[in-house]
Amino acid sequence: MSGLIGLDWGTSSLRSYRFGPDGTILERCARPWGIQHLPEGGYEAAFRGVAGEWLQQWPDAPVIAGGMVGSRQGWREVPYVECPADPLEIARGMVALETALGTAHLVPGLLQRGAFPDVMRGEEVQIVGALAGDPSLAAHSLMVLPGTHCKWATIRDGKVTGFTTYLTGELFAMLRDHSIIGRPARDAAPGSAAAFDKDAFLRGVQTARDSGSRGIAGLLFTTRSLFLLGELPVGQTLDYLSGLLVGEELRCVLAGGGDIQAAALVLIGDATLCERHRLALAAYGIDNVRVANETGPAGLWRIAEAAGLVTRSA
């Protein structure tokens, strides 16, 4: 067998993987060609740039692509699969796209209906990969995927039963780049900010944790007022702001009840972002947290298996 070619195609980046017949990654490639930053020639050129040479050598290798490539703004929109959903149901929702290099199978995102509808695209692949890496999580777990749009997904009996999106990362970027509370850091001399000030971050987390009925709207301006009073150096303002936002996210999760204490809790994704959430969870007295940094490739392989595109050999 020729293995599998998997694409993790997001908004700002494109990663490709060549898997061997046993599911191991033999080669990988990364380019800044997310759906909003395509090279000249568009999707076809980007696809050829990260997988063309592999497909020339292994033309029979199936191709699977997850992430924003299947969004309304992507190469072709793929309808969401409704929760609850497991890898087989996700695989059944894939759409075959004919390209100049052959067929690419686009992975659908997930849809949660109800009073608070929600969607995800790309995170479902990471969740499937985490389940493949640790089958014990299938019974009951809570998976947290920090990022621009942080997802909290509940898993029961191998299915994603529901999830909530928090715009923590996007709010931080907007406030940092376009608000008065981010201005001191923007105006500071280059290099004046520390790499990461843990104490400032935890101060923000604890302020959000102990805010009671005041909530985040009544706390954000303290980023500026503490700076003006000389109680928060300019190099600490952004980490304090980050702590406020992550702390408020956790406060909302805990206020909503849920199963954060009962389920196995897993942080998935970028190691730096996961570490911030781990620190914040510890400030809330939650220490039994697992971390899984790269689960996307395993998720692509598992969905391809469920679809019958590949069969793992010994």
pLDDT digits (tens, 9 = 90+) for 231-278: 999 999 999 999 999 999 999 999 877 667 767 999 999 999 999 999
Amino acid identity, position 131:
L
The CA distance from 77 to 100, in Å, is: 18
Residues of the chain with CATH 3.30.420.310: 166-292
Is residue 231 within 8 Å of residue 207, measured between CB atoms?
Answer: no
pLDDT recorded at residue 161: 97
- Reported as a single tens digit per residue, the pLDDT across 97-152 is 999 999 999 999 999 999 999 999 999 999 999 999 999 999 999 999 999 999 99
Cα distances from 253 to residues 135, 151, 153, in angstroms, run 25, 11, 11
Letter string b/e over residues 274-311, b meaning 16 or more CB atoms within 10 A of that residue's CB: bebbbebbebbeeeebbebebbbbbbbbbbbbbbebbe
Residues of the chain with CATH 3.30.420.300: 4-125+296-307
Average pLDDT over residues 288-293: 93
pLDDT recorded at residue 312: 72
State yes or no: pLDDT of 191 exceeds 80. no
pLDDT recorded at residue 193: 59
* Topology of the domain comprising 4-125+296-307: Nucleotidyltransferase; domain 5 (3.30.420)
The CA distance from 123 to 145, in Å, is: 7
State yes or no: pLDDT of 1 exceeds 80. no
The CA distance from 104 to 48, in Å, is: 12
pLDDT recorded at residue 122: 97
The mean pLDDT of the chain is 94
pLDDT recorded at residue 214: 85
pLDDT recorded at residue 188: 86
pLDDT recorded at residue 259: 63
Superfamily of chain region 166-292: 2-keto-3-deoxy-galactonokinase, C-terminal domain (3.30.420.310)
The CA distance from 277 to 192, in Å, is: 25
Average pLDDT over residues 272-296: 95
Confidence tier at 190 by pLDDT (50, 70, 90): confident
Confidence tier at 194 by pLDDT (50, 70, 90): low
State yes or no: pLDDT of 313 exceeds 90. no
- pTM of the predicted model, to two decimals? 0.94
**Residues of the chain with pLDDT > 90: what percent?**
89
Average pLDDT over residues 35-51: 97
State yes or no: pLDDT of 18 exceeds 80. yes
Cα distances from 307 to residues 86, 92, 214, 297, 304, in angstroms, run 12, 7, 49, 16, 5
pLDDT recorded at residue 314: 47
pLDDT recorded at residue 4: 97
Element (H, E) at 64: strand 63-67
- Reported as a single tens digit per residue, the pLDDT across 20-31 is 999 999 999 999
The CA distance from 42 to 36, in Å, is: 10
